Amino acid sequence: MFPAGVEVWIEAQQHLAGGASDVPAVARAVCEGITPEGAVIQGQDLHDLLHLAFNSSSPAAATAAVGLALHLPQADADQAADLPADLPMDEALALLQTAVERHSPNKPDVLPEMVGYLEIYDNLAVVQLLPVLLRAMELDAGVPLAAREPDPYLPELRLWHLSTLTVFEELPPDAAAGLLATALKAGDKRSVALLWNSVSAITAIEPARLAELLQVAAAAGDVFSLRLLARCPAFHEVTAAALEAAMMPAVKAGHESCVSVLLDSKAAAPPIASQIGEGYWLLHGLLLAAVQADRPSMVTYLADRSVVGVKWHALMPLLQAALQHSPASFMCLFAEPAAAKIGAKELGQLLRTAARWFRHGIVYEVLNWHRAWGSVSPENKLEQQAR
């Protein structure tokens, strides 16, 4: 197999052998970017030319070699229609891996030529392509992003070329989910879009697996990918607990647009009959997380999204946490209608908590204006003044 910079090696062989090297004449020609007119491929030359095409550091040599190896007839005319017999599938896949590694705008023809060549193999299984696909996505993540909407159909992207393989459409749901997870973790929206557009099995991903993907996208603030994943039928079948786990990273990071997408799942909707159910307590847990992360804008957003509002018996723990972690969130929550129902006992508890965390401004600007202030015990008021 020719290594990278193979042209240098061939030139050295010719020099050492005084021009009588056993390097095939066809190979010597293509190293100079020349496609010999009327050339034929002699036996082992097929392998040598393909290795030269994919390992060459010269764009001209690569283009000439791949054109000869994959398109010109062999010396034995009977083999011309049966090229795979001379190139075992495992070697073809190895060459595909090399083409993926070395793909660049300077050698635009090599990878698509090899992808087209692989269509000859009737017994090619999609599982054999998975390592190549994963590596392609890893490398594609390093291709600079355009400022506009992610475009998955760029010649620079390896996955775009590989997606034209017939077997690409045969990816099972679990394998498709694995590729999506790789793209999401790499932050490559283009690969996510291409997989969505090319792999029909994505819509059959199980709810539990989809919840994992939602969590990765939400944690990264990737609303583009979330909107695609939300089109899967399983989006409305995830459990409330799984949805909460997916939303938590986005809530703590302040990604309101991501939370908005996730809250559209039916798992987040409170039951109509009781108004207080799994969906409501999901929202309460998210509010608490937003308070503890000191995300007042997220607190406001979540409270506004609540169909039934924040109930007074759930409001107290949130207010207590806000006094400790986020005074700005306290102001948002204290404006909820349920705050008007707070009695003297609860107001006294808030007064003690405010004193513990030295929130004197909240006491004088907010608490002492509450309608229950006159009923707060003198002990609680004195404790606040003492601090």
Output the pLDDT for position 74: 45
Average pLDDT over residues 348-363: 71
Contact assessment for residue 55 and residue 1, using Cβ atoms and an 8 Å cutoff: yes
pLDDT per residue over 190-201, tens digit each? Answer: 999 999 999 999
SS3 132: helix
Contact assessment for residue 173 and residue 212, using Cβ atoms and an 8 Å cutoff: no
- Rounded Cα distance, 381 and 385, in Å: 6
Q: What percent of the chain has pLDDT over 90?
A: 32
Contact assessment for residue 284 and residue 333, using Cβ atoms and an 8 Å cutoff: no
Q: Of 57-66, 247-256, 265-274, which one has max mean pLDDT?
A: 247-256
- For the cut 70, the answer to whether the pLDDT of residue 238 exceeds it is yes
- Rounded Cα distance, 143 and 163, in Å: 17
Q: Using pLDDT thresholds of 50, 70 and 90, give the confidence band for residue 2.
A: very low
The residue extents of the domains of the chain are 1-123
Output the pLDDT for position 343: 73
Token pair belonging to 220: 């990264």
What burial class does residue 329 get, using C-beta atoms within 10 Å of its C-beta: 0-12 exposed, 13-18 middle, 19+ buried?
buried
Q: Using pLDDT thresholds of 50, 70 and 90, give the confidence band for residue 87.
A: confident
